[in-house]
Amino acid sequence: MFKYFQNRLALSEKGSRDLVKGVFFTFLHYLSFMFPTIFVYFFLQDYLQPLMGTLTSPQYGFSHYLLIGLAMIGVMYFIARLQYRSTYSVTYNESAKRRVDLAEKLRKLPLAYFGEKNLSDLTATIMDDCTQLETTFSHAVPQLFASLLSLTVIALGLFNFHWKMALSLFWVVPLSAVVLILSRRAMDRAHSNQYSSKRDVSEQIQEGLETIQEMKAYHREEEYISRLDENLKDYESVQIKGELLVGSFLNLSHILLKLGLVSVAFVGAVLLEQGGIDLFTYLIFLMISASVYNPVIEVFNHMAVLVYLDVRIGRMKEMEALPVQQGTTEFEPKNFDIEFRNVEFSYDTGKKVLHDVSFTAEQGQATALVGPSGGGKSTTAKLAARFWDIDGGRIFLDGTDISTVDPETLLKYYSVVFQDVVLFNASVADNIRIGKKDATDEEVREAARLAQCHDFIEKMPQGYDTVIGENGETISGGERQRISIARALLKDAPIVLLDEATASVDVENETKIQRAISHLIKDRTLILIAHRMRTIAHADKIVLIKEGEVAESGRPEELLEEGGLFAGMVEAQRRESNSKVLY
């Protein structure tokens, strides 16, 4: 049973055991609902018999039944407390663990996964799916199985008491269940459509928020709103159809259940007339028929919820099955040479990005990756830090295959500056201090000076304590990039990856930043990507990557003398800039 719950409902081992406990105590809780009926049964049997002439007076006094009633209330309260703790409290703990495990899973996934997934899709999985699972596991799943168990026990007891009346009471249950079972496929399809439609609307809303600047610039607001309106109408239509479908089948099953009340009244009247039952038994079954179907209705409602839950559980299982990046955490390299040896790489689309790439970026040198756009330069730099796992070949750091090293352990030795800078809605100092969380204020300021951003920071309203908004929305692109460079300089890692790090700065600041970066080359491995030749003017080694292959490799002066592709790129930019001295 534990394994069934664990596999069927995507639970942890502890969560499945806790769920079984929750089902058991919920089962006891439902059985305790029969206490009032049992109490009334014995009370009426004792007090009605004198009226029927069987006894002259009740066997027990009113105080006796009062004490029994109070005892039953106490037991019901105690069971209810146990049921609450074992169902709701435990479920919320399991939900918290699920969210943490999901976050840990996402943290260990290759970055390729995030490139393929829409952010709104991931956000919905973390927030909406987890919330729905939490609600269902606390308010539906234990109740479903407990209702089935309690209904079975009650049915067995009633059949043992009087099988004809019990049959007239329960014959409608399998009939109603058949309706839901036959409708399961239709409900499953409806829920899937609802889920997909809702996700499409969420993604389009997020797309609108992220691209609002471009839409305004190119007058696409009306087109976007029109498409959004169509999607919202489709979503509304899908929701209405789904709710009508599920509601129709559920209401039909409920209507069929109510036929049991009619059959109990009719069969009981016939048996009473024929002397098959006494009046007391007839009254008891009429009382029971008023409430016995409540667990059945709850089972049917929860079955419909579980159909909807299957979509979300499927997504959770899909994420749990994704391969994660793993490796040793015991890694302390002494040398920081990075060697690419016959590296092959492709994205999930199947398109080969890199083919047989081999070169070495040596410690104490600046290795520049150049070449046409889309050739694979940025991919190569990211592979050096194991942002993805390669398809073939090997990448070594100090002679160790980086695929055997835990990514977080590996990245301790890297400082990375991407072209697309990411800043946080925090102060300038906090954004720089991400490179070194325990850095002093003076260390932060020194990194800012080297990155040529100290002067503009000082001019801000609160200086280094100025909050710069989400992704640095209150500052320019060049300023964002320099803060990102300051962050990398502060980390002071032995390996530095610069992907178009000076693309958004002017020529004067680019020269200053290059001068600052040149101080880092000593005893460090520097891999930089640039399209402007003056950015790599002082590189020790050039690796020209074209169409995923290393077309040329060597010292800059050697490649210039050879007059190949690199020399052609330099000459082309010299002509464009009308400069006699470009490189």
Please choose, from the candidates 110, 102, 109, 41, the residue with its C-alpha nearest in 3D space to the C-alpha of residue 69.
41
Does residue 138 contact residue 92 with C-beta atoms inside 8 Å? yes
pLDDT at 536: 77
pLDDT at 364: 87
Which residues in the chain come in under a pLDDT of 50? 580-583
Domains of the chain (ranges; CATH) run: 11-320 (1.20.1560.10), 338-577 (3.40.50.300)
pLDDT at 520: 61
Does residue 369 contact residue 499 with C-beta atoms inside 8 Å? no
Write the pLDDT tens digit of every residue in 465-489: 999 887 777 888 778 888 888 888 8
pLDDT at 553: 92
**Burial grade of 407 (CB within 10 A; 0-12, 13-18, 19 or more):** buried
State the Cα–Cα distance between residues 4 and 16, nearest whole angstrom. 8
pLDDT at 350: 62
pLDDT at 513: 67
Write the pLDDT tens digit of every residue in 98-117: 888 888 888 888 766 776 66
Backbone angles phi, psi at 79, to 5 degrees: -65, -40
State the Cα–Cα distance between residues 120 and 206, nearest whole angstrom. 7
Quote the distance between the C-alpha of residue 215 and its chain's center.
Answer: 29
DSSP label at residue 154: H
Q: Enter the tokens of residue 473.
A: 């929305």
State the Cα–Cα distance between residues 571 and 306, nearest whole angstrom. 67
461: number of Cβ within 10 Å? 8
pLDDT at 180: 80
Write the pLDDT tens digit of every residue in 352-407: 889 999 999 999 888 999 988 888 898 899 999 998 889 899 999 999 999 999 98
pLDDT at 396: 96
Does residue 381 contact residue 527 with C-beta atoms inside 8 Å? yes
